[in-house]
Homo-oligomer: A and B are copies of this chain.
Amino acid sequence: MKTHSLQTQSLQTQALQKTGTLYGVGVGPGDPELLTMKAWRLIRQAPVVSYLCNDSGESQARQIAAVVLSEAEPGAFELPLPMPMSRDRTAANAAYDEGAARIAEQLRQGHDVVFLCEGDPLFFGSFAYLLDRLQDQFPCEVVPGISSVNAAASALCSPLTLLTESFVVVSGRHTDEQIIQALQTHQSVVIMKAGQARARILALLEHTSRIGEARYLEYIGRDNQRIVEDVRRLSAEAGPYFSLFVVLPARVSRP
């Protein structure tokens, strides 16, 4: 009985050894130096590196990790997964299904797959949709990355939150009521994905009298980084996808 159990275990181990591991790896907000040592090592060693790309094959995550990919092992290859940029859920779901199938094919062949994610893989990221489709069948591991929230605080050189403050993250996809509630309840508020919603967010900041505490950032840590300290000077037009507002209370930092 014991022998049988050990044999079964051994066969299972062999089967597991034949399956690759999926690594969701955060590459941070834009500066390649903000990759972690672990991300750097995994990307360099990976037999397969995958990422989402647009119709033209462009990928922000790949671009951030380009310098590491230039050091990849001979024989390593890339697996770009095209993702339609529309908000059509059916099309997006089909693209994730297709992407997960292509990753699964590699994992079944015993190849580890490193999937590159901007910022942190599990913080407003697309990796969640691949993980959801693959984590029941394959070993998965996640390497956290610097999120744009922490990068924004560093770029502003301002504490995001102190011990007795609360901190909330909402996105431009939330309703007016949700954003107002966040601004009225919490000292520190970050509003992510502010691009399309910029005009609406400016109006809500004005409405809650927090516009004077708000700052705006886009493309943090990249060559085209832009910080607007007085958001009243910001035009009410749509901005890039990688833009956010940081709303911090006036304070004296004493413990």
By secondary structure, the A interface counts as mixed
Q: How many Å lie between the Cα of A186 and that of B179 in the bound state?
A: 12
Residues of chain B contacted by A35 (CB below 8 angstroms)? 36-37
B171-A168 in contact (CB<8A): no
Task: Give the interface size class of chain A.
Answer: 35 or more
| Chain B residues within an 8 Å CB radius of A174 | 164, 166
Question: Knowing A124-B162, A160-B122, A178-B166 touch, does A131 contact B185 (C-beta < 8 A)?
Answer: no
Docked complex Cα distance between A64 and B160 (Å): 23
- Contact partner, A36, options B36, B124, B147, Cβ 8 Å: B36
Contact with B along A116-148 (1 / 0, CB 8 A): 000011111111110110010000111111110
Which chain A residues numbered 212 to 250 have a C-beta less than 8 Å away from chain B? none
A139 to chain B, nearest CB (A): 10
Q: How many identical chains are in the complex? A: 2
Contact (Cβ within 8 A) B92 A255: yes
Q: Are A120 and B153 in contact (CB-based, < 8 A)?
A: yes
A150 to B143, CA, bound (A): 9
Known: A37-B34, A146-B144, A253-B131. A122 touches B159 (CB 8 A): yes
One of A25-33, A54-62, A70-78 at the interface:
A25-33
Min CB distance A188 to B, Å, is 9
- Chain B nearest CB from A119 CB (Å) reads 9
Extra A-B contacts (9), CB below 8 Å, given A141-B157, A163-B193, A168-B186: A35-B36, A36-B36, A122-B150, A122-B153, A128-B253, A135-B157, A142-B154, A144-B151, A164-B171
Q: Which 9 A-B pairs have the closest CB atoms?
A: A132-B253, A128-B159, A33-B38, A142-B154, A122-B153, A144-B150, A144-B154, A92-B255, A168-B168
